[in-house]
Amino acid sequence: GQQLNQSPQSMFIQEGEDVSMNCTSSSIFNTWLWYKQEPGEGPVLLIALYKAGELTSNGRLTAQFGITRKDSFLNISASIPSDVGIYFCAGEAPSGTYKYIFGTGTRLKVLA
């Protein structure tokens, strides 16, 4: 079945640093979503991407829909301690079903 691989699996960074993570698949997706999950809570939607090449920002977060439609990227600029959590990508599969496959997650820790 389809899988979404996220890298890195985990990151330890200093406060103020920029962060980059990505999500790759062997299959094409038409929609990508990025979520953040904190302990004891459900995932919170950060950014939605709908077109290949699309670049969308939400505050310090910027996400891109890869040109090949098989990958997506999330960047966080000037990280702060509250950025700590697990970041998940999700791709709609199959297309048009409104159902999503979730990536393996990137665990982010920010050192003050």
Partner 1 sequence: SAVISQKPSRDICQRGTSLTIQCQVDSQVTMMFWYRQQPGQSLTLIATANQGSEATYESGFVIDKFPISRPNLTFSTLTVSNMSPEDSSIYLCSVEDLTGRLYEQYFGPGTRLTVT
Q: Between residue 37 and residue 96, which ones bind partner 1 under the rule CB under 8 A?
A: 40-45, 48, 50, 88, 90, 92
Q: In the numeric block, which tokens belong to residue 92?
A: 């709609």
Nearest approach in angstroms of CB 103 to partner 1 is 7
Closest to partner 1 by CB, 45 or 111: 45
Closest to partner 1 by CB, 80 or 95: 95
Q: In the numeric block, which tokens belong to residue 107?
A: 């665990």
Neighbours of 111 (CB within 10 A): 11
> Which among 54-62, 63-71, 74-82, 98-106 is the span making contact with partner 1, rule CB under 8 A?
98-106
Nearest to 24 by CA among 74, 85, 70: 70
State yes or no: residue 20 binds partner 1 (CB under 8 A).
no
From CA 49, how far away is CA 31, in angstroms rounded?
Answer: 6
Cα separations in angstroms, 105 against 3, 51, 61:
12, 22, 16
Q: Which of 15, 18, 51, 99 binds partner 1 (CB under 8 A)?
A: 99
Closest to partner 1 by CB, 45 or 55: 45
- What DSSP character marks residue 70? S
Contact residues: partner 1, CB under 8 A: 1, 31, 33, 35, 40-45, 48, 50, 88, 90, 92, 98-105
